[in-house]
């Protein structure tokens, strides 16, 4: 059971938190513990001003000149996707020219899946994936298969059995690193190596990884990846997503959505598609300037952040939450589903509860905002940039109160 006042050891952890100063860079509504930054990241304070400036100054005053104006100082709209890509690249262990920004994660999944199939070994037709993968990843694979006349096989197996199913006829392995329900984290490097030993091309969905902990795609030798701009990157609702294509694939990988903004020289208006250098070729259409500007500004919050320190704090926050709730698992039908093993944990903690939907509604009414996920999951996301151990303690007290009120 949690005590009435913040325990000393948690106060001490907050007192020596190297990221404590980052909290002031976010707008956080009063009276709320926001544990849903893994669904929609909180608003970085500098974003509204930037969006207003882009709208009024650049759109309003400069109008079409903004596409090229300020190119020397890096303010032109044309290269905005590339500047945002460079900021994301740093967080995911990629080179800037291996990242393309724009569209949704779903659309980017289509692009990289098509690219991965294009460089996969000839004759292979199996896409291997986690049976519990996020729906959009499964749906996009189904849609691509239908487009290809049903010539592929989407093989769905439990994540723990991936290794046994990685046979040498699998074309592409499509995995989400952190499970959106349980928060279980996969070994990106180890699984990539296993897949490549079988000649299989990897596609990683980093929706709950990018900005949540350090990711090292090139250190893992990963082939392709996608990720989300509005979760741990705090780019705002519907923020542009990103994709990663390892440099060694640029020459061979097909560009399935070969739009003019991925052309080497868009305003040449040539008849045939000549891809731009690097991953820019995957930027299909006109950059979404307003939302890209918000994401660009939001990413600057990470500029001085040591991602190893961020990971250490994330684990400390999730450990603390698990410890505080541990006594409740004996009193209530509350079951931890997030791995205790640090290596296998993302930046969220989830529990099963038979009335999870109702419990989460109670919690949200009490200002503890997490998520309910079907069928019976209570999901709490932790964002080291703006959470303290005091927040974790307050959230744990809220969970206890909600469970006691319902029992």
Ligand X SMILES: *Cc1c(COP(=O)(O)O)cnc(C)c1O
Measured CA to CA in angstroms, residue 165 lies from 3, 178, 231, 384 at distances of 48, 20, 31, 36
Q: Does 36 bind ligand X (CB under 6 A)?
A: no
Bond before 194 cis per omega within 30 degrees? no
Our measurement of the distance from residue 315's CA atom to the centroid of its chain's CA atoms, rounded to an integer in Å, reads: 17
- Catalytic-role residue among 184, 185, 345, 379: 379
Structure tokens at 333: 């039908």
Is 134 an active-site residue? Answer: yes
Residue 182 CB, nearest approach to ligand X (Å): 12
- The one among 106, 286, 316, 394 contacting ligand X by CB under 6 A: 106
Q: How far is Cα 35 from Cα 156, in angstroms, rounded to an integer?
A: 30
Q: How many residues bind ligand X (CB under 6 A)?
A: 13
Q: CB burial class (10 A; 0-12, 13-18, 19+) of residue 267?
A: exposed
DSSP helix/strand/coil, 70: coil
DSSP helix/strand/coil, 126: strand
Residue 389 CB, nearest approach to ligand X (Å): 26
Ligand-binding annotation for 135, yes or no, is: yes
Question: Which residue is associated with the tokens 């990685």?
Answer: 166
Ligand-binding annotation for 351, yes or no, is: no
Q: Does 299 bind ligand X (CB under 6 A)?
A: no
Is 198 an active-site residue? Answer: no
| E strands in 232-308 | 242-245
Q: How far is Cα 205 from Cα 227, in angstroms, rounded to an integer?
A: 6
Phi, psi of 215 (to 5 degrees): -120, 140
**In terms of CB distance, is 40 or 78 closer to ligand X?**
40
Q: Does 371 bind ligand X (CB under 6 A)?
A: no
Ligand-binding annotation for 362, yes or no, is: no
Is 205 an active-site residue? Answer: yes
- Catalytic-role residue among 26, 34, 110, 230: 230
Ligand-binding annotation for 230, yes or no, is: yes
The answer to whether 346 touches 212, Cβ cutoff 8 Å, is: yes
H or E segment and range at residue 174: strand 170-176
Ligand-binding annotation for 382, yes or no, is: no
**In terms of CB distance, is 108 or 400 closer to ligand X?**
108
**Helix (H), strand (E) counts: the chain:** 13, 15
**In terms of CB distance, is 208 or 387 closer to ligand X?**
208
- DSSP states of 300-318: GGGTT--HHHHHHHHHHHH
- Catalytic-role residue among 185, 231, 281, 397: 231
Structure tokens at 217: 């795609």
Ligand-binding annotation for 106, yes or no, is: yes
Is 187 an active-site residue? Answer: no
**In terms of CB distance, is 207 or 220 closer to ligand X?**
207
Region near ligand X per CB under 6 A, out of 50-58, 205-213, 244-252, 368-376: 205-213
Residue 132, number of CB atoms within 10 A of its CB? 17
Strands 242-245 and 99-101: antiparallel
Phi, psi of 303 (to 5 degrees): -55, -40
Q: Does 104 bind ligand X (CB under 6 A)?
A: yes
Residue 207 CB, nearest approach to ligand X (Å): 3
Q: Does 134 bind ligand X (CB under 6 A)?
A: yes
Q: Does 105 bind ligand X (CB under 6 A)?
A: yes
Ligand-binding annotation for 77, yes or no, is: no
**In terms of CB distance, is 189 or 373 closer to ligand X?**
373
Phi, psi of 178 (to 5 degrees): -115, 120
- Catalytic-role residue among 36, 179, 205, 391: 205
Q: How far is Cα 128 from Cα 109, in angstroms, rounded to an integer?
A: 14
Measured CA to CA in angstroms, residue 191 lies from 34, 118, 168, 321 at distances of 33, 21, 14, 29
- The one among 66, 129, 176, 192 contacting ligand X by CB under 6 A: 176
- The one among 100, 171, 207, 385 contacting ligand X by CB under 6 A: 207
Site string for ligand X, 229-268 (x = CB under 6 A): ------------x---------------------------
- The one among 53, 62, 136, 218 contacting ligand X by CB under 6 A: 136
Ligand-binding annotation for 134, yes or no, is: yes
- The one among 36, 205, 223, 371 contacting ligand X by CB under 6 A: 205
Site residues (vs ligand X, CB under 6 A): 104-106, 134, 136-137, 176, 180, 205, 207-208, 228, 241
**Which residues participate in the annotated binding site?**
105-106, 134-137, 176, 205, 208, 230, 260, 286
**Which residues participate in the annotated binding site for pyridoxal 5'-phosphate?**
105-106, 134-137, 176, 205, 208, 230, 260, 286
Known catalytic residues are 134, 205, 230-231, 379
């Amino acid at each position: 059971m949690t005590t009435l006042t913040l325990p000393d050891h948690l106060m001490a952890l907050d007192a020596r938190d190297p990221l404590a100063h980052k909290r002031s860079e976010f707008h956080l509504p009063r009276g709320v513990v926001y544990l849903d930054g893994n669904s929609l990241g909180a608003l970085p304070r500098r974003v509204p001003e930037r969006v207003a400036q882009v709208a009024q100054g650049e759109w309003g005053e400069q109008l079409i000149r903004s596409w090229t104006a300020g190119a020397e100082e890096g303010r032109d709209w044309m290269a905005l996707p590339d500047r945002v890509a460079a900021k994301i690249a740093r967080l995911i262990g990629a080179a800037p020219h291996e990242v393309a920004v724009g569209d949704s994660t779903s659309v980017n999944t289509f692009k990289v899946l098509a690219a991965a199939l294009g460089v996969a070994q000839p004759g292979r037709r199996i896409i291997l994936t986690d049976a519990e993968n996020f729906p959009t990843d499964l749906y996009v694979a189904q849609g691509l298969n239908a487009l290809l006349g049903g010539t592929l096989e989407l093989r769905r197996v439990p994540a723990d059995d991936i290794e046994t199913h990685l046979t040498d006829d699998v074309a592409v392995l499509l995995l989400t690193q952190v499970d959106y329900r349980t928060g279980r984290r996969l070994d990106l490097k180890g699984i990539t190596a296993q897949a490549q030993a079988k000649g299989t091309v990897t596609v990683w969905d980093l929706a709950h990884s990018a900005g949540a902990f350090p990711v090292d795609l090139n250190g893992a030798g990963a082939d392709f990846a996608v990720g989300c701009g509005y979760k741990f990157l705090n780019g705002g609702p519907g923020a542009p997503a990103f994709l990663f294509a390892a440099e060694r694939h640029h020459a061979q990988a097909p560009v399935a959505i070969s739009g003019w903004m991925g052309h080497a020289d868009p305003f040449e208006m040539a008849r045939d598609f000549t891809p731009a250098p690097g991953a820019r070729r995957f930027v299909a259409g006109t950059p979404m300037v307003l939302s890209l500007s918000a994401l660009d500004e939001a990413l600057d919050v990470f500029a001085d952040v040591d991602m190893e320190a961020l990971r250490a704090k994330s684990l400390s926050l999730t450990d603390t939450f698990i410890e505080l709730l541990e006594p409740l698992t004996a009193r209530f039908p509350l079951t931890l589903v997030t791995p205790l093993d640090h290596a296998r944990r993302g930046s969220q903690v989830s529990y099963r509860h038979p009335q999870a939907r109702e419990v989460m509604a109670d919690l949200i009414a009490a200002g503890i905002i997490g998520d309910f996920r079907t069928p019976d999951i209570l999901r709490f996301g932790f964002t080291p940039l703006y959470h303290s151990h005091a927040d974790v303690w307050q959230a744990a007290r809220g969970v206890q109160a909600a469970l006691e009120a319902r029992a």
